[in-house]
Structure 1
Amino acid sequence: MFSECSFLMGEGNTVVIVIPARLPRAETYTVAVSRDQIKFKAGYDEIASMDYPGGDIFRRLVNYTEVGLVEFPPEAQSFPQHITNRAYIEVRRALA
């Protein structure tokens, strides 16, 4: 569905994910994060998976149970003024 995303970093540990697409209709959305990978699910269906920088973004995401999503597809005339959806955060840590 999409192969990249952006992150808006706010004050404190806040973070919002900007995706370059419209999400398919689903009851729930999930963002599964590890130190170097991020996956997006609509319901039980995986809709995107990609590498991402981790680091500060990962540290911010693991502090929350939900994250705001902003849908900003290429055809959009202007950047949305609000969060368009929320996703539950699933943290995936490697076992050492």
Structure 2
Amino acid sequence: MAGVVGSDGTVLTLAAAREHLRIGSQPLDAGLFAAAEGRIEAFLGRELVGATGWATAEEVPALVIHCVKLALSDLFVNREAPELTDDQLRPMIGRHMVITLG
């Protein structure tokens, strides 16, 4: 996904995030990137990229990246009370969840 994967191992570039949020050159809190990825990692029960996730950011499925964008949008618009729920994520990326038994 050219132009989407960040060079620092994140699944979004600043440019892709700005384009998705349609904010042009307005300031964007870098902490929102980490929070959005963290939200999706928490839902999946694993890292997006790393030992428990995909080997590289380029290997992360497009639908998972889209969900990171959804989480980013939710955090950007609803900073005080994000509204994206597990029930909304499950049909989209639930198949990538880590299931532990016991």
With normalisation by structure 1, the TM-score equals: 0.29
**Counting strand residues as a fraction of each chain, which structure ranks higher?**
1
With normalisation by structure 2, the TM-score equals: 0.28
